[in-house]
Structure 1
Amino acid sequence: MKLEALWSQATATQRWGAVAFFLGVGLVAWWQWPSPSSAESEVVLRPGADGALVRSHEGTVPDGDLRLWGQGKTLSALGGGLPYAELRRMFDYFLSGLGEQGLAAIVARIDQEIQAQLPQTQAGAAKVLLRKYLAYKEALVALDKAPAAQGQGVEAIRQRFEGMLALRPRFFTPVENEAMFGFDDAYDRDAIARLEVHQNPTLSEAQKRERLAVLDAAMPAAVKAEREAPRQIINLENQVAALRAQGGTDAQVFALRAKALNPEAAQRLAVVDREEREWQTRIADYQRERQRVLQANANSSSGERDAALAQLQQSRFSPAEIPRLAAYEN
């Protein structure tokens, strides 16, 4: 969660307090895995392991797709590096299941994903990176308890941010630090600067607008693109809706999206469109059949009706899909 989101919340603990889920877990074992061999073989990245780790992950796709980073390239083509940013996203995705699943099981699952998606010579280094990341998360817990980091004001937020930056060299090399956290750090610096403007009682509204305009002009290109991305997607999908209303074909929609984004993104969105149409067709069929079941069991007991409906659901939907049906039954 970016710091910007804290501005509209009652508390500012979401970004900095999220690490509290490590409390009560005990010391995380940080052990050294064998160093990867210096000899690189021509290994192609493989698909990741399937299956949700916890109930809250059912129906979701793990963040940090290492295959996208490698695009099926061999180790020599990749230069032997690690997909640091993708690995961090993967770590955070699975660690969000802590509470539903024990830490040891989560670490084992991440190791499984690493082993499935990376060549052996990279997998060892990625597992070492995971242990370093866990130790870093533990250190953040202690940082969050520091007196100077308490409170929701901009000074407390800055103290937590600066403390976080100071911790990193204990766990990560400069390359790892920049690759894993560089973008978020730039985003958060900009967000803190904006928060300082908003919370400055000596500034008039006009002065605040002027200072925010200066920040806009100095905003790093990557941060600016991140901030504008949701608006661009909304505008694009509004154009898609208008095109479809005018009778536009799937090919025309694809061309519009490919021009605004890229062909790969347009293809992914086309898949989403198709899956949504298929889902809505299945829901319409289910609603008609559900009505028929209810009519056929009008004189049955509530238990018999519930059993008949449950049988209908199980015959047409997966366990992960069934909870979504409640939204279509009222």
Structure 2
Amino acid sequence: MRKRFLFPALFGVIFGTTLFIFHQESGSGIVFNPEPGSDNRSDTRRLINRTPFTTGLESLPNSLQGIQVDGELQPDTAGNLILNSDVRRVFDFFLNAVGEEPKDQIIGRIKAYINWQLPDLAAVQALQALEEYLALREAMGDEPSNMKIDSFRFSDERELTSATLRNNKQLILELRSHYLSPHVDRAFYEEEDLFDEYTLAKLALVENTELPSTEKAAAIAELEAALPEPIKQQIASVSRLQLLSQLKKGWKMEQGDAAALRQIRESVVGSAATDRLEKLDQQRSDWQSRVDAWMVMRGQILVEESLASQDRMVELDRARSEYFSSLELKRVQALEYLRDYTHGL
């Protein structure tokens, strides 16, 4: 664990710029509303304009050239910033180039881009959010991945338990609370926090040795069903297959039957995908049966005393070509090599 990330939180170093604003919900994010009488737009405008950029997109670093800015900066009808995860993505788009050009220059780009994209009031609010976010990134070592629950490094994979990761998540939440105003934190990380909570709850279920695999699959399906639609879409097929693999291992250890395996699969990937997986299982089983039979036949040919050594190789090639298609030959020869190697032949 990179403990230096936690020192600001542990020693209570609190970011000094507090936003004297309140917020209200909007259809696409949080809308800023400044306190009556508070207007520092002119000072902030002068700060923004002290950069060599007009749009922030001039002479971009190589890694950003030809790439569209990720996210949008948008005001509402009253000119206030709509604060959502898009704002954070815009900041990260430019900050990803840290190392290619000086950090101060990148920050100047972001400020110019804010000025170019937004009216005065929304620009001021975006700058306030930027200052908080930059302070958080600095505390985390300027590495966004350090704000993920699995960012801390472990000497043993067995330490990656749901309890350990939940503790890491809590440390990250505490650090964020020192640097981000509640509305900024919510706008930037709400979806990520929901997904993390789902992930941690799912991992705890997988770790539970007292639950049979069928009940685990059903409980995980319920967790996923409760997620907002955008987060459901983030759960890619790869993560589903990884989960399915874990549950299938449990099913094997329990010596479950075919009906239990189908129930597990339907809970994770649905009926249609389960049908395809069962068909694939059958194809794999058929292939393995053919390979097993061939290995027996091959073994018999290799010890056939009536054939000279060279003739055995000729007979092997002939029999293999009859037994397998041209597309299968390389695959089976690789299996033969592996079998001979493991047996010291």
Structure of greater relative contact order (alpha carbons < 8 Å, 6+ residues apart): 1
Which structure's CA Rg is the greater one?
2
TM-score range, shorter chain: 0.3 to 0.5
Q: Decide which structure has greater helix share.
A: 1
TM-score (norm 2): 0.46
